[in-house]
Chain A
């Protein structure tokens, strides 16, 4: 599967790694639901680090679309809570 980190790169991950990716994603979501700022930053960093470390980076010329897109690394808890769900944050 191909995972993009917004504002960075696209990475190709083994299909077998999807389960772990999902666990890490769930941890981020739980932190968001709790409104846990520190928990959000640490779990989100863990998710991004996992993708960067275990994925292989696609070249800039590659035209493949991603299966999953992760928010940019400087995303705040407020942005993660409010803005990803609605319109308006991503420009047309």
Chain B
């Protein structure tokens, strides 16, 4: 059959026949094939362990980001209460970036869970075929003449060989996905290590490099909305801290348009 199915069939069949090349002495082939199958099963187990490790790493990052989120939110509130809007905005910008990152990590963890499930299913299928092959090879050794055994072995080994190629394919895909995620996770770690989500009270008034990088990543209108919400919340609890300042567009680093929008919202809900 030509087309898509033909192409992948041909590629896998070539791999399978490579696995079966040692077919001169049937009994040797049997044991050799079985040994290869068991090795492959070990590889799959290792592959599953790698995916689990990658997943755990992402989950640790999630926990750490969640802690940063709480911290940044607290700092934004404190800054806002002290009428330091610039500082509050910086904290909220960082919180926004951390939130986006957290959502992305969540998606990646789910994806790795899927990969883990697929590999576990593949492992079970391969294990069943290998067990079946093990039984059959003893029967072949005991009951068939060399010539007949040749045919029987070839058939049985093809079935397992195909499953091995299939598992190999699933492993390759899992490794590719895991590596992509590791690269991303490293990038987040670097941002974190550079202090991107750290204590904003340590920041001076001037913009540093991290600030500029974060600004590009931040959804400014989401930050404006949150600024407004926070003002409203603090405003209702402590009237002295807000009032007329809201309308004066007290967020110098924001775009004027979106800043006003946030202000209006705050006034309505206050």
Residues of A that sit less than 8 Å from B by CB: 3-4, 6-7, 9, 18, 21-22, 25-26, 28-29, 32, 44, 59-72, 74, 80, 84-85, 87, 89-92
State whether A72 touches B7 (Cβ < 8 A). no
Quick one: which of B8, B13, B125, B172 contacts A91, CB cutoff 8 A?
A: B172
Q: Is B261 an interface residue, CB under 8 A from the partner?
A: no
Of B3, B133, B160, B161, the contact of A28 (CB 8 Å cutoff): B3
Q: How far is the CA of A4 from the CA of B124 in the complex (A)?
A: 16
In residues 72-100 of chain B, which contact A (Cβ within 8 Å)? none
Does chain A have a CB within 8 A of B184?
A: no
Min CB–CB distance B166 → chain A (angstroms): 5
| Cα(A6)–Cα(B155), bound, Å | 19
Determine whether the beta carbon of A7 is less than 8 Å from that of B162: no
> A91 — which chain B residues lie within 8 A by C-beta?
168-169, 171-172
* Complex A-B: 5 CB contacts under 8 Å: A65-B16, A65-B161, A65-B162, A71-B4, A90-B168
Supposing A6-B8, A90-B172, A91-B169 touch, asked if A22 and B159 sit within 8 A by C-beta, the answer is no
Partner of A63 from the list B4, B125, B156, B168 (CB cut-off 8 Å) is B156
**B1 at the A interface (CB under 8 A):** yes
A10 to B18, CA, bound (A): 21
B118 part of interface (Cβ distance < 8 Å)? yes
